[in-house]
Amino acid sequence: MKKHILIVPGDGIGQEVTEVGKAVLVKIAEKFGHEFTYDEALMGHVAIEATGNPLPDETLEKMRNSDAILFGAVGHPKYDNDPTAKVRPEQGLLKMRKELGLYANLRPIKLFDELLGASSIRPEILKGSDILFFRELTGDIYFGEKGRKNDNNTAYDIAEYSRYEVKRIARKAFEAARTRGKRLCSVDKANVLETSRLWREVVQALAPEYPDITVEHQFVDAAAMMLIKDPKRFDVVVTANLFGDILTDEASQIAGSMGMLASASVGDSTGVYEPIHGSAHDITGKGVANPLASVLSAALLLDISFGLKEESEAIISAVDKLLKDGFRTRDIADATTPADKILNTQQAGEELLKRI
Ligand code: NAD
């Protein structure tokens, strides 16, 4: 298969982990006889420094012309500590989602058995957890009107959803539930929010088209509690942008570390595959970042954008094998991990390639 992949490392550890993600794609192409070509583009703080724009037109053009995008993360402490900065790295992220029509963010939360001890949740509660989140990505409070009034003493962000927006993400979640445990949980705050009442109405109206799927509706506060209390009760979860942002970070604890979780953003054009973690400036440049979320993002890319299931499975099996062989990066190591089994980012990449 011939495909063109754009690598957008972004900032901080994004640069370190996408290097490993790309190496894995190169290895897979070699092993399975595919012809992948690569290009690279700037985004985030590095793009602001180089061009003054967090998502330069050249990057957007390259994104539109590629078959899939392997993305790192954007962000820099300079902006985190200065809420008044007008140009910000995350503007690039939101613009990319809007411009590429990436309305569905898929986040598989799957626990590798070897990491049962790495979570702060008890192993017997976690074992067997396997959740697929669908977070709506181009609507809600992130994209509504925002501003200040009353002489800068009051701020507002408006949340908005259309029936069309809710229906297209809900449909994707119903379809996915069909290929899994046939259970769908729609999360909202319909007791308080009008956008949530519309959300629930649309999901309820769609349900008769999927009689094989058991649908449940949960309020976001209850869902947040239930994720920790009994994660196994969830199969596919569909929710709005803001709730999804928070719940998926919470759910990352089921997988043991942010460094283990991949995500896919798909919609109208090129799909974007990225770890759920950010640019992690506290560990940038130290070589200790866990590259497995980027590697698992590469696996999602092959599966979802190219339909290469066997190749995708080969990557997941290699990650499984690496963990079974006792290797850990620092974030998923514990007191029982021998020092010679603790790998830095580069070593984790090398050990992984040996197992593909
Ligand atoms: P973060 O995800 O970068 O880091 C949270 C914690 O998890 C840190 O202690 C970090 O060291 C650790 N961590 C994250 N990824 C890891 C990995 N692969 N290996 C080992 N440890 C890892 O979140 P944050 O600290 O809240 O934000 C840092 C910056 O990233 C901010 O500027 C924020 O805006 C940005 N951010 C970007 C994205 C994105 O680009 N999609 C997402 C979240 C945050």
CA distance 77 to 132: 31
225 Cα: distance to centroid of ligand 1 (angstroms)? 23
Contact (Cβ atoms closer than 8 angstroms) between residue 65 and residue 4: yes
pLDDT of residue 12: 97
CA 292 to ligand 1: nearest atom: 18
The pLDDT of residue 252:
83
Sequence length of the chain is 356
Question: With 80 as the cut, is the pLDDT of residue 118 above it?
Answer: no
Cβ neighbourhood burial of 297 (10 Å; 0-12, 13-18, 19+) = buried
pLDDT at residue number 282: 96
At 119 the pLDDT is: 78
Instruction: Write down the CATH number for the domain with range 1-103+259-356.
Output: 3.40.718.10
DSSP state of 144: S
Decide: 74 and 54 in contact? Cβ < 8 Å: yes
pLDDT digits (tens, 9 = 90+) for 291-332: 999 999 999 999 999 999 999 999 999 999 999 999 999 998
> Residue 204: its pLDDT value, please?
98
Looking at residue 135, its pLDDT comes to 96
Residues of the chain with CATH 3.40.718.10: 1-103+259-356, 130-253
Q: Taking all residues of the chain, what is their mean pLDDT, rounded to a whole number?
A: 95
**Tokens 């669908």 label which residue?**
134
- Model-level pTM? 0.91
Number of neighbours of residue 207 by Cβ within 10 angstroms: 17
Instruction: Write the CA distances from 154 to 140, 145, 147, 193, 249, integer angstroms.
Output: 20, 14, 8, 20, 29
257 pLDDT above the threshold of 80: no
What single-letter amino acid sits at 45?
H
Tokens read off for 297: 């993002």
Q: What value, to the nearest 5°, has the Cα angle with vertex 223 and ends 216 and 186?
A: 35
Residue 117: pLDDT band by 50, 70, 90 thresholds? confident
Annotated binding site for substrate: 97, 107, 135, 221
At residue 262, does pLDDT exceed 90?
yes
Residues with catalytic function? 142, 189, 221, 245, 249
Convert the pLDDT of each residue in 163-206 to its tens digit: 999 999 999 999 999 999 999 999 999 999 999 999 999 999 99
Residues with CB under 6 A from ligand 1: 13, 17, 73-76, 80, 90, 93, 258-259, 277-283, 289-290, 293, 331
Selection from 256, 258, 309 nearest residue 28 by Cα: 309
Give the pLDDT score at 180. Answer: 94
Task: For residues 137-158, give the mean pLDDT.
Answer: 95
Q: Going by CA atoms, what residue is nearest to atom 44 of ligand 1?
A: 278
Measured in angstroms, how far is the CA atom of residue 331 from the centroid of ligand 1? Answer: 12
Query: What is residue 254's predicted lDDT score, i.e. its pLDDT?
Result: 83
At 259, the pLDDT band (50, 70, 90 cuts) reads confident
258, 265, 288, 329: residue to mutate for ligand 1 pocket, most atoms within 8 A of CB:
258
Q: What is the pLDDT of residues 11-53, one digit of tens each?
A: 999 999 999 999 999 999 999 999 999 999 999 999 999 999 9
Q: How confident is the model at residue 113 (pLDDT cuts 50, 70, 90)?
A: confident
Q: Are the CB atoms for 173 and 216 separated by under 8 Å?
A: no
Domain 130-253 has CATH 3.30.420.40: no
Q: What average pLDDT does the segment 266-293 reach?
A: 95
List the alpha helices (DSSP H) in the chain.
13-32, 45-51, 57-64, 77-80, 89-99, 123-126, 163-178, 194-206, 220-229, 241-251, 292-304, 309-324, 345-354
pLDDT digit string, tens, across residues 78-106: 998 888 889 999 999 989 998 999 999 99
The residue nearest atom 11 of ligand 1, judged by CA position, is 280
Average pLDDT over residues 277-299: 96
CA of 291, closest atom in ligand 1? 18
